[in-house]
Amino acid sequence: MTGIEAVGSRSRINATAAVRAYLATCGIVLLLMMLLGLTMRLAQAQWIDVEPNLFYVVMTMHGAGMVGIAGLGGAAVMWHFVRRYVPVSTAIFVANLVFFLIGAALILGAGFIGGFAGAWTFLYPLPGHSGGLWSANGAAAYMAGLLVIGVGFLLLHLDIARGIISIYGGLGAGLGVKQAFGFAPEKDGPPPAVAAATMAAISNVIGIVVGAVVLILSLVNLYAPSFTFNTLAAKNLIYYFGHTFINVTIYMAVIAVYEILPVYTHRAWKTNRVFYLAWVLSTLMVLTVYPHHLLMDFAMPTSILVAGQIISWLSGLPVLLVTAFGALTNVYRSGLKWDAAAGLVFMGVAGWAIGIIPAVADGTIPVNSVMHNTQWVPGHFHTYLLLGMMAMMLGFMTYLAGPKSPSHLAPAGVWLYLIGGTTFVLAFLAAGSASVPRRYAVHLPAWLAYDRAGSIGASLAVAGALILIVRFLVSLRSPIDATP
């Protein structure tokens, strides 16, 4: 009996059922969060009335919910595939979902009962300065919810790291460091799913611990306002955590590309020295690039901000020249038969790669001076999250649903999601280039055209996601053995 089988046999929980539970949660929450996003765009377009107090609660819930669900979806993809190569605990995987649901309940209560509207980034000292519109308890419930979710993810990553170490001997070996620097044959390197899961474990464990530190400090400040700490240090910690966590969601979800596309193309995903080097460098850059969020904090040391810009540019190279290039060469005249799953996964790579371009532009200091915190920012991150990461997750969901599920509507779902999503992100980017600020509940008349185009795009994207998610939920009626 191998180690992998041993771990599997110890758990009474069916692994595929657990993945299905993750994806069902992801699908339902994703739809709800997309509807919250659509609500904001419709309000900005002045097609519906939403009071600013409620708008900012919705904005906070949308942000936290989407980041959380991206993490959960990425974790589902990663865990489903990485357990083919390393022993992992189904119980811990399920525990993460339970922690997530408890945390989500706390966060939803904080927002819709407690009125907490401090944005998902809870930028210190805002949670303690509500202007009388939310209580300390409301803010505390939000931050406690994030902490609980963080504990779940910490457990999951540590368990996967344990599994990787047990098979490969260390996290460096799991990442393919020796292969990256030519000290070991490429053929002996880890499969892509293991390299990606190693990167996710290293990055998220550090990022989550940093996030926990600033959350606990903020919680103390809520109830003991005389306890204060440096606002710039707090901002560094928050963006370190936030940037790392949201980026890792993509690096987890991309495992779907490595594992699913070759099933369709019948071409193995090529792992070579460049591939491993890209993952090593991506790990380092995800952990060091966060200062590009602080380019307008002139009090920061200039050398760190300059490094933030340069690393921001460098971090685009592995994505564009390795993963995107790898997907293109894998698919190129492969004879694959397109279906919704393959289309979504391929779209996910495209969305990720294309989204890098406006993101890198915004990471350039003179550009950031006139585009930071305009709608250019949600424009670029929705490109690589909505059309990138989420497309990969929806592709995985569609793939798991299998060909037996009703599929005649699935292509329509993909096209609606693509066309709607593209319209939606372009409206944001155009508004950003016209200096429209982000996170405004009320917009000037001159900005309405962008909001209305964005609302139409968002409506189409929601319709597409609805089709794909309902198709997946319907597929849950089929026996687990039918799952790929």
Partner 1 sequence: MIQDVVWDVSIALMGSLAAVFAGVAAGAEVPLTNYGPAIASAYRLRTWLFALAVVVLVGVNYRALGALPYIANPAEQLGLAVKRADASGQQWSWTVQPNSFVVGQTVEFYVTSKDVNHGFGLYDPHMHLVAQTQAMPGFTNVLRYTFTEAGTYQVLCLEYCGLGHHLMNTQINVAAH
- Determine the Cα–Cα distance for residues 232 and 467; give it in Å rounded to an integer: 44
Q: What is the DSSP string of 415-427?
A: HHHHHHHHHHHHH
> Which residues 124-183 are close enough to bind partner 1 by CB under 8 A?
125-126, 129-131, 133
> Which residues 243-272 are close enough to bind partner 1 by CB under 8 A?
265, 267
Nearer to partner 1, 442 or 474 (CB): 442
Which of 374, 375, 405, 475 is the binder for partner 1 (CB under 8 A)?
Answer: 374
Nearer to partner 1, 16 or 130 (CB): 130
Q: Which residues contact 244 (CB under 8 A, 6 or more apart)?
A: 203, 204, 206, 207, 210, 286, 287, 290
Which of 47, 53, 403, 478 is the binder for partner 1 (CB under 8 A)?
Answer: 53
Measured from the Cβ of residue 419, the count of other Cβ atoms closer than 10 Å reads 14
Q: Can residue 275 be called a binding residue for partner 1 (CB under 8 A)?
A: no
Q: Can residue 346 be called a binding residue for partner 1 (CB under 8 A)?
A: yes
Which of 112, 231, 478, 484 is the binder for partner 1 (CB under 8 A)?
Answer: 231
CB 356 within 8 A of CB 310: no
> Least distance in Å: CB of 432 to partner 1?
8
Which of 58, 107, 195, 349 is the binder for partner 1 (CB under 8 A)?
Answer: 349
- Kindly tell me the burial class for residue 12, based on how many C-beta atoms sit within 10 Å of its own C-beta (0-12, 13-18, 19 or more): exposed
For 151, phi then psi, to 5°, come to -60, -45
# binding residues, partner 1 (CB under 8 A): 79
Cα four-point dihedral sign 149, 215, 220, 110: negative
Interface characters, 182-221, with partner 1 (x: CB under 8 A): ----------------------------------------
CB 327 within 8 A of CB 346: yes
Q: Can residue 371 be called a binding residue for partner 1 (CB under 8 A)?
A: yes
Q: Can residue 332 be called a binding residue for partner 1 (CB under 8 A)?
A: yes
- Tell me which H or E stretch contains 214: helix 192-223
> Least distance in Å: CB of 229 to partner 1?
10
Nearer to partner 1, 6 or 321 (CB): 321
> Residues for the chain: how many in total?
484
Nearer to partner 1, 44 or 90 (CB): 44
> Which residues 105-124 are close enough to bind partner 1 by CB under 8 A?
117-119, 121, 123
Nearer to partner 1, 126 or 463 (CB): 126
Q: Can residue 365 be called a binding residue for partner 1 (CB under 8 A)?
A: yes
CB 95 within 8 A of CB 41: no
Q: Can residue 75 be called a binding residue for partner 1 (CB under 8 A)?
A: no
Cα four-point dihedral sign 428, 429, 433, 437: positive
> Least distance in Å: CB of 228 to partner 1?
9
CB 239 within 8 A of CB 60: no
Interface characters, 300-329, with partner 1 (x: CB under 8 A): --x--xx--xx--xx--x--xx--xx--xx
CB 177 within 8 A of CB 275: no
